[in-house]
Structure formats: C-alpha cells, structure tokens
Amino acid sequence: MPELPHLSPKFRGPRFERHAIPVELLSDLVAYRDLVRDVAKSIYRKSTNRRRVPSAFEQMFRLSLRDVKSGSAVPQLVNDAWETDAYAEIIPFKPFFDEAKGLVDEAVRGSHRGELPKEFPVHLLGCFEKIGRHLEPGEEIDFAPDTNSPAVYDNSVRERLVLMARNQIEADVDLFGKVSGMNHTPSDSFDLLLPDGTTVSGPYQPSHEKALVQVYVDEKSLWLRVKGSGLFDRQKRLMRLSEATEMEVLDQNDVGLLEAVRRINAMTTLGDGWCGLSSRGVSQETAAWAAHVLRTTVDLGELPPPYVFPTPTGEIQLEWKIEALSIDVRLNGSTKKADFFAYSETNPSLDLEILVDLQSPEKISSLADTIANTRRNFS
Amino acid sequence: MSYLSGHPSPGAALSNHAELLYRNARAEFVQDGHPSKQVFEPGPQDDKLLSLERASISSPRETFERFLNSGGKSSGVLAVSVAECDSAQVPALENALPANLAHAVSDFRQHGNSQTKKRAGQLRDNAVSRGWEHKAFIQ
C-alpha cells in the first residue's frame, strides 16, 4: 500500500515528548489537509483553465491517522484513496497534490523573509488561521521533516502568513480579569477588565451567566478565567473576544499561578546580554518546560504560586517564602535539572541543597514531594 | 572580563555601621513590587563582589539614574546597612571608582553558591523591611 510519507508533519515540544498528540491539535491536521487540498484544486483550475474540479479529485485525498511515531510526535497520515478500486482514476491528480504540498512548505519557509511563492493562491492564506492555533509557546510543527529544508511552523509563522492577507487574525485566548460589565441588549455580552488595565468585550452563552455574575458581585476576591477566541490586530492587540467557550471562577492562588506562567512565557523576549555581557536569554524550550514543571508542582503540592524570575544564566528561578522557610528552585531547561535550595530563618543549621533530576514526568511530579518533605522537616 | 580585572581591588571595611548602601533592583528581578534574592546576589561576572553605592556620597535618585544611564532597567532602589552586611557575613568594603566615587562592594567571596543565595536572601529581607528608597515611576 503506497503511503504519503510527506504528509507526516513532525510535532516538537514538551507536550509531544511521549509521542502523543493532544486531541485539540487534531483539528489542526484537518485544517492542514484542507489547505493542501484547496491549494491543489486551485493549481488544477489554473493549469487546466477549468472552473470546476472533477469529483474524483476530492477522492484522491482522503487521509486517515494510522499511527503516531516518535521524534517528538510524527502522525502518520495515510491516504485511504490508494486502497480503493478507483486508484487508476485518481492517480493522474497526484502531481497537483504534490505541488500543493510543496507550495505550502515554501509559504511556511518564505514567511520568515516576508515572502510568498508567487504561485501560492493568496485567497487561501486565511486557511493558516486554523493551523497551529492550539500550539503553545515553545511548540512547533515541521511540515517537511527528513528533508534538507525543514518547513518549521509555529504561532509566529501563522500570524505572519494570515496577516499577509488581512489586518486582523483570530487566535485562541486564555485570559483572566474582573467582570466590569454585563449587557443583555442587543445580545448577551460582557466586559472583562484585564490586569493591564485594558477592557475587552465579547459574547457569552447562558451557561456562563452564573460564573459571570459571581465574579461581578464579588469583585474583590474573585477573578474570571475566559478561554475561547479573540480578534487581534497587526500589533497583536486584542480587539475583542469573538467566542467564549469556557469560563471558570478563580481565587487569588489560581490567578497567581496563571500570572507566574504568563511571566515565564514573557521571559523569552530577553535576549542574550540582558543582564551583563555574558548573560543568556531564556529559550522558548526552557520557558515551556519550566511552565510545565511549575504547574505540576503547584498543583500536586497544593502550594501557593511562587515568585518567578529569569537568571543571568538563562534559567528560571522559582522563589517561595512559606512562613520562616525560604525555597529556591532554579530550573535548567537544557539539563532538565533543578538546583533546589531551602533554608529556615529561625533555624540556621537547617540548610538543604539538592540537585533534582526532572527528566521525566514522574520525576517532575517528585519535586512537589521534595517541597512537601522539606516543609514537614523544617516546621 | 571579570569584575576584578575591570575594577580596583576592594579596600578597607566601611566603618560607619549605620551607613546605608543602595542597590538598584533590576526590573526583571521584581514581581509585583517584590524583589528576588538575585537583586542582592553577585552576578556571574562579579567575582562574588556585589556592587552597592554609599548613602554618604550618593542619593537614591542619583543611584537610580546612574543605573538607567548605563542602560539598565530598574524598578527602584533598595538599601541595606553596613551593619546588616556584617551580620550576614558579607562585609561592606570601600571600592570607589574614578567614574563613581560612591561605589562600594559587599564581599561574598568566602561563601559557596548556596550560602551566597542565603546571604543574598538575608540582605533582600533587610532591604524589604526598610522599604523602597526610590521607586521607578513606570514599573
């Protein structure tokens, strides 16, 4: 059975290290398939001067996910069409799909230079909006792995490609803030006051009303987390929420954890030399991994969120002060290890310094135990 | 270039134990007004000598502006006393520079990495108890 190995994009990032793909990213594969198919149709129409494509053309391209291979995660997309009796009928269309796949790869590569292959149908640039929108910072897809010219795609590439054709882009949002207004006319909508002082508005569903009212009434201690999608302008400013799919009431600890993760992601803007000539910036890989370690540790250890800071050596330092106990965890994204150091202000002889191995999910979970044991022994 | 290769060697211990010593809090080391221990931890290039500025020669505002003029981004200026440096076993030493006569250092050279962090934490806690001597208008 012939396969289309070139339609096996490689997903890289912490979430893919166990050769698995989170289900929310499966819709990205659907969007990728649709883009390649639509580009192929466009090429066909242009080269044959026909307005419509034959029905067999669509049948040529029916992909199934058969397996996920390692490295970090490589979904194996197999073309079911090759197994049908209509094989002979559809094979003439194969070159159009090969060319379409190549054009998509070229568009991804060229986006770094702000260039688009001249054969690429500009009206299809908007299709990139649905590809990669669920990627987190530090994650990427290579659409041309195992070649000499990788086509590496992440959220910045997505933005560049969509904004070549439009002035705004829709993207996933995960926000928290205070509910500053609720309106019923002309339709149900709410205003969310964000921590930076800006306000965004968007529609809500009846099932969200309870959470909205709860936060609206208890404006001092509660916050609202909103997941969904929003429209951003070219300056990456959120103009409005287009859809709210999830709402969750948060307390101060929840907000502290979200804020800590946001700070870690923002640290990737620090370049080398930010703190003296020999200082190093925080890499996307380190930030993504550190955010994962932080979430796991705070959740499992039922800990308050720590203060988070970059270090001049490109690491990320978590600092907890729990009564008289001071705990520092310095996370090294390259070695996947942490320097753990704890001391008590009231008992100077109780210093504890450990190098903690965090190279596997199980070991990451153990960091919460280390902190819990330290709290017990120091109390 | 190491700290010592670019600066004169530290001199005698500062004798006025009540004198305050200013330290800029780099903006990246401050979260919601809370400074990291790293504010008082010598950096990789500092050869375990923490730069400070003497209150008898500089004001908090001058210390702040000097840091900004050197290209740094500061959230404000904190202070520890000479006595607090002695108490944390990181003595304050004279180290005037031609371009900055207020410059002094706190000497961490007798301490390993973990003890350096611990002493930096002590200085940070002392400084936080005292409060900000000068705060940046825009954080």
Summarised one tens digit per residue, pLDDT across range B95-135 is: 999 999 999 999 999 999 999 999 999 999 999 999 999 99
Instruction: Point out the residues of chain A with pLDDT beneath 70.
Output: 1-6, 85-86
The structural domain count of chain B equals 1
For an interface test with A, give the residue of B114, B123, B129 to mutate (most A CBs within 10 A): B114
A72 cis-preceded (ω within 30 degrees of 0): yes
Candidates B34, B43, B114; nearest CB to A276: B43
Q: Quote the minimal CA–CA distance from A197 to chain B in Å.
A: 14
Residues of chain A with Cβ-Cβ distance to B36 below 8 Å are 307, 309, 317, 319
**Can you read off the two tokens belonging to residue B36?**
């990291």
Length of chain B: 139
* Nearest to A223, CA basis, from A212, A239, A208, A207: A212
* Predicted pLDDT at B135: 92
Q: Which of the listed residues A250, A270, A291 is the one where a domain comes to its end?
A: A250
Q: Quote the minimal CA–CA distance from B19 to chain A in Å.
A: 24
DSSP letter string, A278-291: T-BPPPHHHHHHHH
B38 and A317 within 8 Å at the Cβ level: the answer is yes
Whole-angstrom distance, CA of residue A337 vs CA of residue A305 = 20
User: What chain B residue is nearest to A328 in terms of C-alpha separation?
Assistant: B117
Residues A146 and A9 in one domain: yes
Residues A28 and A158 in one domain: yes
Residues A124 and A269 in one domain: no
Residues of chain B with Cβ-Cβ distance to A263 below 8 Å are 31
**Can you read off the two tokens belonging to residue A279?**
């200082």
Residues A9 and A52 in one domain: yes
User: What chain B residue is nearest to A319 in terms of C-alpha separation?
Assistant: B36
**Can you read off the two tokens belonging to residue A314?**
């490109």
CA atoms within 13 A on the CB side of A49: 0
Whole-angstrom distance, CA of residue A319 vs CA of residue A335 = 20
Name which residue leads in pLDDT, A333 or B137.
A333
Residues of chain B with Cβ-Cβ distance to A278 below 8 Å are 44-45
What is the span of the domain harbouring residue B49? 3-135
* Predicted pLDDT at A128: 94
Residues A264 and A346 in one domain: yes
User: What chain A residue is nearest to B121 in terms of C-alpha separation?
Assistant: A326
Whole-angstrom distance, CA of residue A328 vs CA of residue A312 = 15
Residues A151 and A22 in one domain: yes
A319 and B37 within 8 Å at the Cβ level: the answer is yes
Residues A241 and A333 in one domain: no
Q: Please, what is the end-to-end C-alpha distance for chain A in angstroms?
A: 65
Other Cβ atoms less than 10 A from the Cβ of A246: the count is 12
Other Cβ atoms less than 10 A from the Cβ of B26: the count is 22
Digit-coded pLDDT (tens) for A53-84: 887 787 778 888 888 888 788 888 888 877 77
Candidates A274, A277, A341; nearest CB to B114: A341
User: What chain B residue is nearest to A264 in terms of C-alpha separation?
Assistant: B28
Residues of chain B with Cβ-Cβ distance to A275 below 8 Å are 26, 28, 43
Q: Quote the minimal CA–CA distance from A339 to chain B in Å.
A: 10
Residues A9 and A154 in one domain: yes
**Can you read off the two tokens belonging to residue B20?**
């305050």
The structural domain count of chain A equals 3
Name which residue leads in pLDDT, B5 or A243.
A243
Residues A159 and A15 in one domain: yes
Digit-coded pLDDT (tens) for B41-69: 999 889 999 999 999 999 999 999 999 99
Residues A217 and A262 in one domain: no
Q: Which of the listed residues A250, A279, A305 is the one where a domain comes to its end?
A: A250
Q: Which of the listed residues A107, A136, A166 is the one where a domain comes to its end?
A: A166
* Predicted pLDDT at A86: 66
Residues A161 and A14 in one domain: yes
What is the span of the domain harbouring residue A271? 254-378
Whole-angstrom distance, CA of residue A9 vs CA of residue A68 = 10
Give the percent of chain B with pLDDT over 70. Answer: 94
A112 burial level (CB within 10 Å; 0-12, 13-18, 19+): exposed
Residues A116 and A174 in one domain: no
Banded pLDDT at B139 (limits 50, 70, 90): low
